[in-house]
């Protein structure tokens, strides 16, 4: 299990296959996209679900936290670092709190 520390958040990004029609069509046809191309496109995804938060997240900015676990958020393009959970093999991105740029109101993923 990946546990974010300090001012970092763990976010499960949307899968490129779920938001890009070309990648979705390729998946339906059982075509494999070249690894480098898929990795580069996945890095451009800017939306995901907050999975966990460090203990000092948003404290430097005062006021209320901008988001909570389960919220769908937007984050800076190409920000953070991609990680794979060694137990579940799920892909995540770990971001600094300042890289969260919006919360999608009305969207929650529990």
Give me the pLDDT at residue 14, please.
82
Inter-residue contact 82 to 90 (CB < 8 Å): no
Domains defined for the chain, CATH in brackets: 8-14+46-108 (2.30.33.40)
Per-residue pLDDT of the chain (110 residues; tens, 9 = 90+): 899 999 999 999 887 666 666 766 777 777 666 655 555 555 556 889 999 999 999 988 887 888 999 999 999 887 889 899 999 999 899 999 999 999 998 866 65
**Assigned token pair, 61:** 């900015």
Q: Is 50 helix (H, G, I), strand (E, B) or coil?
A: strand
pLDDT value of residue 33: 63
- The pLDDT score that the predictor gives to residue 94 is 95
Cβ neighbors of 51 (< 8 A, separation 6 or more) are: 10, 11, 12, 69, 92
Global pTM reads 0.74
Q: What is the pLDDT of residue 53?
A: 95
pLDDT reported for residue 51: 95
């Amino acid at each position: 299990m990946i546990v974010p520390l300090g001012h970092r958040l763990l976010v499960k990004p949307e899968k490129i296959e779920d938001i890009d029609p070309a990648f979705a069509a390729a998946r339906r046809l059982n075509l494999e996209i070249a690894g480098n191309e898929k990795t580069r496109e996945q890095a451009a995804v800017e939306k995901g679900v907050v999975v966990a938060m460090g203990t000092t997240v948003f404290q430097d900015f005062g006021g209320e936290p901008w988001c909570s676990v389960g919220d769908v958020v937007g984050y800076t393009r190409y920000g953070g670092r991609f990680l794979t959970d060694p137990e579940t093999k799920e892909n995540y991105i770990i971001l600094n709190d300042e890289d969260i740029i919006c919360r999608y109101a009305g969207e929650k993923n529990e």
